[in-house]
Amino acid sequence: MNSPSSSTNRACHPWVAQVAVVTEVRQEIESVATYRLRLRDAEIARQYRFQPGQFNMLYVPGCGESAISHSGPSENDGHDLWHTVRFVGRVTDSIAKLNVGDHLGVRGPFGTAWPLEACKQRDVVVMSGGLGLAPLRPMLYALMAKRSEFGRVVLLHGARTPETILYPEELSQWQAQGIEVELTVDRADGEWAGNVGVVPLLLDRLPDLRPAQTEVVTCGPEIMMHFSAISALKRGIPETSIWLSMERNMQCAAGLCGHCQWGPLFVCKDGPVFRYDRIRTLLKVRDL
Amino acid sequence: MTATPEQLTIAAKSLWLDKKEFQSFLNVLREGGYQIIGPRIEQGAIVYGPVDRVEDFPLGWTDEQAPGLYRLKKRDDDALFGYAVGPHSWKRFLFPPQLDMMRSKKVGAGWDMEPVPVETVKYAFLGVRACELSAIEVQDRVFLNSTFPDEYYQQRRRDSLIIAVNCTMAAATCFCTSMDSGPRCRTGYDLALTELIDGYVVEVGSVQGATLIERLALPTVAAVQEERAEVARRQAVEQIQRVLDREHVQSTLKQRLNHVHWDDVAARCLSCANCTMVCPTCFCSSVEDVTMLVDQEVVRQRRWDSCFNFDFSHVSGGPVRDQTRSRYRQWLTHKLTTWVDQFGTSGCVGCGRCITWCPVGIDLTKESVILCSEAGLDKPQDSPL
Ligand SMILES: Cc1cc2nc3c(=O)[nH]c(=O)nc-3n(C[C@H](O)[C@H](O)[C@H](O)COP(=O)(O)OP(=O)(O)OC[C@H]3O[C@@H](n4cnc5c(N)ncnc54)[C@H](O)[C@@H]3O)c2cc1C
Ligand code: SF4
Ligand code: SF4
């Protein structure tokens, strides 16, 4: 026999989901809901840990699986996992049909996390577009949980219209807990007195920015993150202080299926959170 | 694998297996509990499948290959291994085209989910070429050197016996010499054969191999047989005409992502995925649900997929690589450059299958020369990968 070199350092089956029970469904905005899930196996639930920025594969038997980020507090273990889902296709539409008490499968957590350590004692600018706020919410919770360990924290969030701003009732709570919140929309209605325009504009105009002391974390459509990074660079924030979360097709989330390849990287395991300087050149190549 | 002193002494002595004894050799493998997988003729090609008897082998047949061309031809002897490589590779036994990964059973209003247990099978892979030994090592890095090692692959790999065969001829599509992967089998086998007209020179590469072959009580090979085997092996080296400048392509191709020649290849490529299906290192897969018994049970089934398939890179806005150009570019740059970044080895072992089985005869050795040339560059490129 040949002894292939193997490093079995995790006795976990990458392809097998754990059964989870839906404990709450919260309608957010149109076609978006947040699901609270409890892993059915109490021991596995107790051991489950994740970091802000990581994601799970959510599975509906007979329909398939989707990568969905954690959107809840990272102090939670597997008894209370939160996922905010937009219903856009086969799998997510079947998630939309789930009610409290229903089962689905959960594999994870997978992927890299937001750079909480690198943010310690520094200012943090959180830039999100649309549903991109969901993967950043655990980061915001973590910043609030140890608020004194971080400098100024600013959330710059953009949505298409005022009605599609995610988590509206939480925003004022966050402000109360020391987070500056700036909102913008692509299209305003009669009521809206706030900003109109894209998210990077908010950074262009952000007063009292201390570029050398600031970390920028951003999640949203690729084009929005691209321009957010450019705005950050223009404001003098170094490449090594800009972080973004990429989205690609994922089947396994374990670096085995090949779908999420992006140049030399696997978005599922080298990402989804990347530091800008490591992917700057990749972002510029069309259809990579 | 580092050889123990014991193995070194085994390996030092090659043995002689007379042609008449080949059936006994097969019997010894079978008695050792192995299911023998070897070459056989199916649908006009030499493929890998179960073999038990000498008559199952492609006795006296060879393959003629060229870009977009594969043909079986009669040899003027009755060699069992007188061909190069066919459309199959051993990956179909270690990483099967379809595999059930997980089962969900309906219980009341909910579900139970459990892994599909891996059945143990002991294969003896008989007729593994040098480039294929390399390909297996490449896939070891993908499936075993991972945070999440693939259990199925691991079991089959651990329990399988590898009987390599040194090439004594090469196809016109072979370029293992460029990829440093052949034609001589160097490591990674339990036994290695060199076929001569009257028998086989047998080299022993592991304790398992030694233990099995001991049962035949074979004589040590005579010096003249050794010499004949060396001549036969040299013949393969001399026949290899195709070249790929591995290191040059590896470093240059990354800087050619906007070369106009990608459009030229894209105009010919059918995006049929044949090249990825026959490649012994390609590992991409998708997972789909297969529903049994009207929703009472659902199986997650992993299937080979290909970066040439339109939906492969699908995200909400549509496929990221929505053109043949970007899909071919993904495939070639992955094989020859980014694979090295990911796994520390080239993703190409120079077996030539993708050249032979491409319906329009696209030849990566030729395309990569043009793509790496300065001519056709719009403007100087920075290094995007
Ligand atoms: C790391 C990561 C985190 C994500 N986090 C969230 C989140 O928190 N909330 C949320 O609503 N969505 C999130 N997404 C996007 C979500 O995975 C897709 O919207 C979802 O897979 C669409 O599947 P579908 O079957 O409903 O759509 P269809 O368009 O019918 O998709 C068919 C298949 O394509 C694949 N696919 C389609 N779109 C995507 C996509 N954008 N990314 C990856 N694969 C895709 C899936 O494998 C799916 O099975 C995330 C994606 C990634 C990669
Ligand atoms: S890329 Fe082509 S020549 Fe290289 S290993 Fe794959 S099939 Fe063989
Ligand atoms: S290169 Fe040839 S085999 Fe590969 S997808 Fe294109 S046409 Fe098919």
Does A250 sit in the ligand 1 pocket, CB within 6 Å? Answer: yes
Provide the domain limits for residue B326.
246-371
> Would you state the torsion angle of the CA atoms of residues A178, A179, A182, A188, taken in this order, to the nearest 10 degrees?
-90
- Per-residue confidence band for B12, with pLDDT thresholds at 50, 70 and 90: low
> Positive or negative, the Cα torsion across A181, A186, A188, A193?
positive
- Check whether residue A244 and residue A127 sit in a common domain: yes
- Check whether residue B255 and residue B232 sit in a common domain: no
Q: What is the H or E stretch that residue B136 is in?
A: helix B130-143
SS3 A279: helix
Our count of domains for chain B comes to 2
The residue type at B317 = G
Q: Could you tell me which of B228, B249, B122 has the C-alpha nearest to residue B175?
A: B249
Query: Whole-angstrom Cα distance, residue A79 to residue A23?
Result: 10
- Check whether residue B38 and residue B82 sit in a common domain: yes
The residue type at B298 = V
- Check whether residue B167 and residue B263 sit in a common domain: no
- Per-residue confidence band for B292, with pLDDT thresholds at 50, 70 and 90: confident
Is the residue at A195 inside a domain?
yes
- Check whether residue A22 and residue A126 sit in a common domain: no
Joined together, the tokens standing for residue B88 give 């199959």
- Cβ-Cβ contacts under 8 Å, B307 against chain A: 258, 261
- Check whether residue A68 and residue A124 sit in a common domain: no
- Check whether residue B250 and residue B234 sit in a common domain: no
B43 C-beta neighbours (distance < 10 Å), count = 6
Is the residue at B336 inside a domain?
yes
* The ligand 2 atom nearest the CA atom of B135: 5
- Cβ-Cβ contacts under 8 Å, B302 against chain A: 15
- Check whether residue B234 and residue B272 sit in a common domain: no
Whether residue B8 is predicted with pLDDT greater than 60 in this model: the reply is no
For B45, residues 6+ apart whose C-beta sits below 8 A from its C-beta are B63, B70, B72, B86, B87
Picking from B186, B209, B239, the residue at the C-terminal end of a domain is B239
Least confident of B15-19, B163-167, B169-173, B256-260: B256-260
Strand duo A180-185 + A153-159: pairing: parallel
Residue B265: per-residue pLDDT: 97
- Cβ-Cβ contacts under 8 Å, A257 against chain B: 284-287, 305
Is the residue at A272 inside a domain?
yes
Residues of B74-95 as b/e, b for ≥16 C-beta within 10 angstroms?
Answer: eeeeebbbbbbbbbbbbbbbbb
Name the closest ligand to CA A82: 1
- Check whether residue B266 and residue B175 sit in a common domain: no
Picking from A110, A125, A151, the residue at the C-terminal end of a domain is A110
A148 in contact with chain B, both atoms CB, cutoff 8 A: no
Q: Which segments in chain A show pLDDT lower than 70? A: 1-12
- Per-residue confidence band for B13, with pLDDT thresholds at 50, 70 and 90: confident
Question: Which long-range contacts does A170-178 make (Cβ < 8 Å, 24+ apart)?
Answer: A174/A140, A174/A144, A177/A144, A177/A147, A178/A144, A178/A147, A178/A153
Interface subset of A 200-259, CB within 8 angstroms of B: 247-249, 251-252, 254-259
Query: Whole-angstrom Cα distance, residue B329 to residue B289?
Result: 30
**B190-238 per-position pLDDT tens digit:** 999 999 999 999 999 999 999 999 999 999 999 999 999 999 999 999 9
- Check whether residue A142 and residue A77 sit in a common domain: no
Residue A189: per-residue pLDDT: 84
Picking from A91, A110, A129, the residue at the C-terminal end of a domain is A110
Provide the domain limits for residue A142.
116-283
- Check whether residue A147 and residue A236 sit in a common domain: yes
- Check whether residue A127 and residue A30 sit in a common domain: no
Q: What's the CATH code of the domain at A129? A: 3.40.50.80
Picking from B189, B204, B239, the residue at the C-terminal end of a domain is B239
Q: What's the CATH code of the domain at A33? A: 2.40.30.10
Do the Cβ atoms of B110 and A21 come within 8 Å? yes
* The ligand 3 atom nearest the CA atom of B361: 2
B297 C-beta neighbours (distance < 10 Å), count = 17
B270 C-beta neighbours (distance < 10 Å), count = 12
Query: Whole-angstrom Cα distance, residue A129 to residue A222?
Result: 10
Picking from A64, A85, A110, the residue at the C-terminal end of a domain is A110
- Check whether residue B153 and residue B289 sit in a common domain: no
- Check whether residue A148 and residue A79 sit in a common domain: no
- Per-residue confidence band for B380, with pLDDT thresholds at 50, 70 and 90: low
Is the residue at B377 inside a domain?
no
Max CA distance (Å), chain B: 74
Whether the CB-CB separation of B328 and B275 falls below 8 Å is answered with: no
Is the residue at A2 inside a domain?
no
Is the residue at B379 inside a domain?
no
Is the residue at A1 inside a domain?
no
Residue B1: per-residue pLDDT: 43
- Check whether residue B230 and residue B251 sit in a common domain: no
Picking from B202, B219, B239, the residue at the C-terminal end of a domain is B239
**A213-258 per-position pLDDT tens digit:** 999 999 999 999 999 999 999 999 999 999 999 999 999 999 999 9
- Check whether residue B234 and residue B168 sit in a common domain: yes
Interface subset of B 223-252, CB within 8 angstroms of A: none
- Cβ-Cβ contacts under 8 Å, A62 against chain B: 289, 291, 295, 298
- Cβ contacts below 8 Å, chain A against chain B, sum to 172
Residue B384: per-residue pLDDT: 64
**B70-114 per-position pLDDT tens digit:** 999 999 999 999 999 999 999 999 999 999 999 999 999 899 999
Is the residue at B378 inside a domain?
no
Is the residue at B200 inside a domain?
yes
- Check whether residue A134 and residue A229 sit in a common domain: yes
Joined together, the tokens standing for residue B357 give 């089985």
CA distance A265 to chain B (A): 7
The backbone torsions φ and ψ at residue B36, rounded to the nearest 5 degrees and listed phi first, read: -85, 125
- Check whether residue B172 and residue B318 sit in a common domain: no
For ligand 2, mutation pick of B133, B178, B353, B363 (most atoms within 8 Å of CB): B353
Our count of domains for chain A comes to 2
B330 in contact with chain A, both atoms CB, cutoff 8 A: yes
- Check whether residue A277 and residue A214 sit in a common domain: yes
Best residue of B287, B327, B333, B378 to probe chain A, by most A CBs closer than 10 Å: B287
Which of A101, A256, A287 is nearest residue B322 as measured by Cβ atoms? A287
Is the residue at A288 inside a domain?
no
- Check whether residue B227 and residue B268 sit in a common domain: no
Whether the CB-CB separation of A58 and A106 falls below 8 Å is answered with: yes
Question: pTM above the 0.90 mark?
Answer: yes
The residue type at A41 = D
Residue A3: per-residue pLDDT: 35
Interface subset of A 31-90, CB within 8 angstroms of B: 59, 61-65, 88-89
B8 in contact with chain A, both atoms CB, cutoff 8 A: no
- Check whether residue A138 and residue A66 sit in a common domain: no
Residue B67: per-residue pLDDT: 98
SS3 A66: strand
- Check whether residue B92 and residue B206 sit in a common domain: yes
